[in-house]
Amino acid sequence: MIDVYTAHTPNGVKVPIALEELGVPYRMHRINLGANEQKRPEFLRLNPNGRIPAIVDPEGPGGLPLSVFESGAILWYLAEKFPGLMPGDPVERIRALEYTFFQVGGIGPMFGQAGWFARHTERMPLAIDRYQAEARRLTAVLEARLQAVPWLAGHVYSVADVMNFGWLRAPQYAGVNLEEFPAVQGWVERIAARPAVLRGLQALA
Ligand SMILES: N[C@@H](CCC(=O)N[C@@H](CS)C(=O)NCC(=O)O)C(=O)O
C-alpha cells in the first residue's frame, strides 16, 4: 500500500491518477496547503522542498521503505516498478522521458507563474504577458507533437501523458485557450474520459 501525500492541484492530481492507472492500492493523506502543512517538519522529512506531492513506498528497493518527492520522479519510479505506464519500445520510452522533463521544467513552472501573476492583487502586465505567452508557446509544442502521434510518447499512453494532463486539464489558469490547440484539446478529452483518471480525481474531490 503506497502512502500518498498530496492535494487537489495540477501537480497533486498526477499521483492518484497514475496509481489508479497502474492498479496499485494507495492510502491518501491530504495535505492542507492553505494551512502550510507542506512546511511542517514531518512533511519536510518526505520532501525537503516543502511541496506536494510525495509518496512513501513501504516496500522500496531491498524491501525497505522509500520516500520519493517531485512528481516526475514519483511517476517514473511507479511506472518502472508497476506495468502500465512505461512504453516497452526504447524510443518511445525516451520520448516519455522527454515529455516528462518538458512538463517539469517547462509547463509546470510557466503555467504556475502565469496563473500566479494573473491573480495577484498588484497588476503586472509585463509578467502576465511574458508567462502567458510562454504557456501558449509550450502548448503549441504539445500541439505539434499530438498532431503527429496520439500520445506524447508516440503510440502508447504513458507516464508523460499523466504528467502533462495535470496542467492541461485546467489551461485557463495560465490564460491558454484550448480551442486554439485542437489536438491538445482532443487529447485532454480522451484522458479525462478514462475510468482510472476519473477515479484518481474523485479520490481528491
Ligand atoms: N516540481 C514539483 C512542483 C511541486 C509544486 O509546485 N507543488 C505545489 C502545488 S501544485 C505546492 O506544493 N505548493 C505549495 C507551496 O509551494 O508551498 C513537482 O512536480 O512535484
Residue-level pLDDT at 205: 86
Residue 56 has pLDDT above 90, yes or no: yes
Taking the CA atoms of the chain, what radius of gyration do you get in angstroms?
17
Share of the chain above pLDDT 70, in %: 100
Is 164 close to ligand 1, i.e. is its CB under 6 Å away? no
Per-residue pLDDT at 148 exceeds 90: yes
Provide the domain limits for residue 104.
90-194
Cβ(191)–Cβ(165) below 8 Å: yes
pLDDT tens digit sequence for 60-94:
999 999 999 999 999 999 999 999 999 999 999 99
The finding on whether 52 has its CB within 6 A of some atom of ligand 1 is yes
Verify that 11 and 63 share a domain, yes or no: yes
Which of 114-123, 148-157, 175-184 bottoms out in mean pLDDT, i.e. has the lowest? 114-123
One domain, residues 124 and 185: yes
- Nearest by Cα to 199 from 9, 3, 13: 13
* Cβ(11) – ligand 1 distance below 6 Å: yes
**Residue nearest ligand 1's atom 2 by CA:** 70
Q: Which of 6, 15, 37, 52 to mutate to test the pocket of ligand 1 (most atoms within 8 A of CB)?
A: 52
Q: Characterise 84 by phi-psi region: left (phi > 0), alpha (psi -120 to 50), beta (else).
A: left
Q: What is the CATH number of the domain that holds 137?
A: 1.20.1050.10
Residues 169 and 149 in one domain: yes
Pocket of ligand 1 contains residue 104 by CB under 6 Å: yes
What pLDDT, on a 0 to 100 scale, did the predictor assign at position 144? Answer: 98
Asked if residue 22 and residue 117 are part of one domain, the reply reads no
In this structure, the answer to whether residues 71 and 133 fall within a common structural domain is: no
Q: What is the pLDDT of residues 87-139, one digit of tens each?
A: 999 999 999 999 999 999 999 999 999 999 999 999 999 999 999 999 999 99
